[in-house]
């Protein structure tokens, strides 16, 4: 089974940038949809961005134009480039995997492998 480990979280000022990484172990990495979710204190976990096996991407409206998801199959790693961050982006960010060619239309139930999360704090 695929194991995911997030890294790259930290403190960043509003308007700044941060890049999160999710390292995956598993021989089927290139065939899986990989996505980022986040959960702020007192709020439900929400979808942020996803990328399919062919490179197709899907973003939540709240991050479109600011965040970019990408994958490097050779390094077995998924990234989330966060630009123009806002205080409301503060949350624990999780990466997750699903056996689907595309992240479009997937529910959270489709993701059965999750990382431990990495904290992102945006100061105003």
pLDDT value at position 31? 60
Q: What is the rounded distance in angstroms from the CA atom of residue 25 to the CA atom of residue 46? A: 24
What tokens appear for 4 in the block?
A: 């995911």
pLDDT value at position 100? 87
pLDDT value at position 28? 59
Output the CA angle 20-26-30, nearest 5 degrees. Answer: 70
pLDDT value at position 76? 81
What tokens appear for 18 in the block?
A: 């941060």
pLDDT under 50: residue ranges of the chain: none
pLDDT value at position 15? 98
pLDDT value at position 27? 63
pLDDT value at position 30? 55
């Amino acid at each position: 089974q695929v194991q995911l480990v997030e890294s790259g979280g930290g403190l960043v000022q509003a308007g700044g940038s941060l890049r999160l990484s999710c390292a995956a172990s598993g021989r089927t990495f290139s065939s899986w949809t990989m996505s980022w979710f986040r959960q702020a204190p007192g709020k439900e976990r929400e979808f942020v961005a996803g990328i399919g096996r062919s490179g197709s991407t899907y973003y939540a409206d709240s991050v479109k134009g600011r965040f970019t998801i990408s994958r490097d199959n050779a390094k077995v790693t998924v990234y989330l480039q966060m630009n123009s961050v806002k205080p409301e982006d503060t949350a624990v960010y999780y990466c997750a995997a699903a056996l689907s060619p595309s992240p479009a239309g997937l529910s959270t139930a489709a993701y059965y492998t999750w990382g431990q999360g990495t904290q992102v704090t945006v100061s105003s």
